[in-house]
Amino acid sequence: MFQFFKKKKPEKAPLKFIDLNESNGKLFNDMGLDSLKYGNSEKAIFYFSKAIELQPEIQDYAVNRAEVYWNYKKPNLALIDLETAISLGSEKALRLKKEYEQEIDIQSKSRKHFSKLLDEVGVDYLYHMTHIDNLKTILQFGILSHNRTHKKGLLAKDISDRTVNSRRIRIHNYVPLYFNPKNPMLYRRKNIQDELVILCVNRELLFSDKVVITDGNAASTSTNFYKSISDLSKIDWNIIRSEYWSDFVDGKRIRCAETLIPENISPTNIEQIVCSNNDTRLLVSNLLNTSDIPISVNSKLFFS
C-alpha cells in the first residue's frame, strides 16, 4: 500500500528590514558603489548622502560622494566633501583636492584664453535663426534639437531645407548654432527675412559638456567635428568674420561653422532676439508681451 505525502513547502526566509540606524551607513555606501557600477550617478549620490547622514564621521563616504560630484561636473560640491574628509584625516581627500584644484585652474585659464579669442574674432553670441511663429514654444520649452522638436510636435513653421536635412541626420539630437548668422543658410531665405528672427545665445555654452564644434556646415562630408574647446583655433575665422564668403576657397561651407549643443538650450540662455526691421520687431514684441528678453533691430545681420 502506497502512502502519498505532500511535499513540504520550503520555509520562506524571514523578511529583512533595513534599519536606518548608524550601523547601516556602510550598507548605503555599498549601494552607492553598486549604482556606480551600473553608471547611475544620481542614485550613487543619493546613497552616499544617506551613508554620510547616518555616519558623518566616516571619511570614505564623503570622498566617494566627492568623486561622483566631480565626474558629474559639480566641482564646488566635490571640494566641499573633500574638505570634510580632510578634516576627518583622509589623505586620499587631500590628494584629490590638489588634483581637482589644479584641473580647475587649468580649465579656468583655458576658458579665459578662448573667451579672449572669441572677443578678438568678434563672436559676442552664438546664433540660431527661426521663424517668428516658433518663438512662443521656444520661450516656453527652449530651443530643442530637430528630433526632440518633431517628437513633441512643437514646430509651428519649419525653415530648414529638407534635402540638406537628410545629410544632417547624425546631428539631429543637437541644437545647431552659428558663429555668424549672416551666412548661406540665411541667404537662401532672404525673401522671408521679415518673418525670421535671430536668437542671440550665451556663448558660454561653448564650454559646456558634450558640445561639438565644426569647422564648416555639418551637412558637408568635408567638415570636421571636434569635441574640445581648444579646437576653436582650427576654424578659419577670416571667413567667419568677412563681409562675404564667396571670395574664399570653400568659403560657403566654412562660413556655416557650427556649435552643436546636445538636445536643448534653456530659454534663460537666450540673451537677445534680433529682427531685420522695426515692423518685425513690433510684431515680435506684441507676440511676446510677457517676455523680458530684449528685442532689437540689426539690419547688418541680415541681407539687404
Q: Which residue would you say has higher pLDDT here, 180 or 112?
A: 180
**Residues 253 and 290 reside in one and the same domain:** yes
**Residues 102 and 129 reside in one and the same domain:** no
Q: Point out the domain boundary residue: 95, 115, 135.
A: 115
**Residues 109 and 152 reside in one and the same domain:** no
Question: Residue 44 in contact with residue 63, Cβ under 8 Å?
Answer: no
Q: Give the CATH number for residue 80.
A: 1.25.40.10
C-alpha cell at 32: 552607492
Q: Point out the domain boundary residue: 97, 115, 133.
A: 115
Neighbours of 178 (CB within 10 A): 24
**Residues 49 and 168 reside in one and the same domain:** no
**Residues 136 and 258 reside in one and the same domain:** yes
Q: What is the pLDDT of residues 11-68, one digit of tens each?
A: 544 444 455 555 689 999 999 999 999 989 999 999 999 999 999 999 999 999 999 9
Using alpha carbons only, what angle is made at residue 85 by residues 84 and 91, rounded to the nearest 5 degrees? 140
Assigned domain for 83 exists: yes
Beta pairing class for 196-202 and 270-275 = antiparallel
**Residues 274 and 184 reside in one and the same domain:** yes
pTM: 0.71
Assigned domain for 17 exists: no
**Residues 111 and 196 reside in one and the same domain:** no
Question: Residue 152 in contact with residue 144, Cβ under 8 Å?
Answer: yes
CA distance 203 to 205: 5
What's the pLDDT score for residue 1? 40
Assigned domain for 161 exists: yes
**Residues 149 and 294 reside in one and the same domain:** yes
Q: Which amino acid is at 231?
A: D
Q: Which amino acid is at 173?
A: N
Assigned domain for 7 exists: no
What domain count does the chain have?
2
- Evaluate if residue 125 carries a pLDDT over 70: yes
Assigned domain for 231 exists: yes
Q: What is the pLDDT of residues 196-209, one digit of tens each?
A: 999 999 999 998 88
Q: Point out the domain boundary residue: 61, 84, 115.
A: 115
Q: Where are the alpha helices (DSSP H) in 153-277?
A: 162-165, 184-187, 237-241, 251-255
Q: Is 204 helix (H, G, I), strand (E, B) or coil?
A: helix
**Residues 169 and 254 reside in one and the same domain:** yes
Assigned domain for 10 exists: no
CA distance 17 to 78: 32
Assigned domain for 4 exists: no
**Residues 285 and 151 reside in one and the same domain:** yes
Assigned domain for 29 exists: yes
Least confident range of 19-23, 33-37, 225-229, 292-296: 19-23
Domain hosting residue 189, numbered range: 123-301
**Residues 222 and 293 reside in one and the same domain:** yes
Q: Provide the β-strand partners of residue 249.
A: none
**Residues 106 and 149 reside in one and the same domain:** no
